[in-house]
Structure 1
Amino acid sequence: MCGVELIKKFEGCDLKAYPDPRTKGLPITIGWGSTRKRDGSPWYIGDTISQQEADELLIYQLETSYLPDLMRIPCWGELNPHQQGALLSFGYNLGSRFYGASGFDSITRVLNNRDWPNMRETLIKYRNPGTNVEQGLRRRREAEADLFLKPYP
């Protein structure tokens, strides 16, 4: 599945459950940023998993919770695996229901118009300017743009 390595690069993996960095509390997170177990129940501080469990949980959540939403993007079926992978990473970071949502007008417009030359500039807009995470998000958005625009054989 294209995009998984990009997600792993920017999410990082922690095999011990930890509080959400933004809220300093819920949701409790583990692995590659997973906030729920396979059965949908929450993680608790003190929970641990193996690397294999973290990897399998990421794929499971991408297949069951993220891809179904992304597949509703009208042009999804026309996108190559690199383009889909870039949007998978974007959706994993900002929510898989971004298409058509409030605050996502620019990327929705680019996708609707299939305006690929403006994809890089558009993705980079979603970096939380003026915050302590701006530089990290900019690197992620640039990597997503690189993947989106990378020719697919």
Structure 2
Amino acid sequence: MRTSADGIAMLHHVEQLRLKAYPDPATGGAPWTIGYGHTGPEVYPGLVWTPEQAEAAFERRLREEFEPAVMRALTVETAQCEFDAMVCWAYNVGVGNMKSSTLMRLHNAGRRDEAAEQFRVWKRAGGKDCTIRSNNCYGIIRRREMERARYLGVTGAEAIAIYEATK
């Protein structure tokens, strides 16, 4: 299974193309990030990419890291909308967190409604509670509502509209 155009549109929307390396917004430091949320030892202050480099890195991580990890974690038939949401979520919370999550356990148990509610549990960034707007990470709450909506079957455009309306 591959991430659909809807899932890619969601990721591009929330990760926002940035061509100059920047510190993690939640921590104000490491990990340094560039492109569409790309992190790694090759990302350092002052690094600049072209749009083509950013897209290539995004595609590579999506195809080689996140999609295979989600596929390995799944034990039940999964709808495209559910897969898109889980890839988007894993891209943000990391593969390890995704694999050991209650969300994945509930999904694999066929408890889809409960799994959908688990997106809302993932509301922290850099140790901060993102429901508190003064922590400057409220985008995580908006992202989780977008991912939850896609998991439940809305289109990517509708999910992005939910992200934008959650401001």
| TM-score of the pair, normalised by structure 2 | 0.75
Unaligned runs of 5+ in 1: none
Residue in structure 2 matched with residue 71 of structure 1 by the alignment: 71
Quote how far apart the aligned CAs of 1:49 are. Answer: 1.1
- Cα-to-partner distance string for 1:92-148 (whole Å, 9 max, x where unaligned): 0100222442xx3x3133123111122332211111245425532221111111111
Structure 2 residue aligned with 1:16, among 14, 20, 25? 20
Distance 1:12 1:122, change over 3 A: same
Structure 2 residue aligned with 1:30, among 18, 29, 34? 34
Residue in structure 1 matched with residue 54 of structure 2 by the alignment: 54
Residue in structure 2 matched with residue 138 of structure 1 by the alignment: 141
Please state which structure has a larger fraction of its residues in helix. 2
Is it true that 1:147 corresponds to 2:150 in the alignment? yes
Amino acid aligned to 2:75: C
Is it true that 1:118 corresponds to 2:114 in the alignment? yes
| TM-score of the pair, normalised by structure 1 | 0.81
Are the aligned partners of 1:120 and 1:142 in contact in 2 as well (CA < 8 Å)? Answer: no
Are the aligned partners of 2:123 and 2:141 in contact in 1 as well (CA < 8 Å)? Answer: yes
Unaligned runs of 5+ in 2: 156-167
**Structure-2 separation of matches of 1:143 and 1:22:** 19
SS in structure 1 opposite 2:96?
Answer: coil
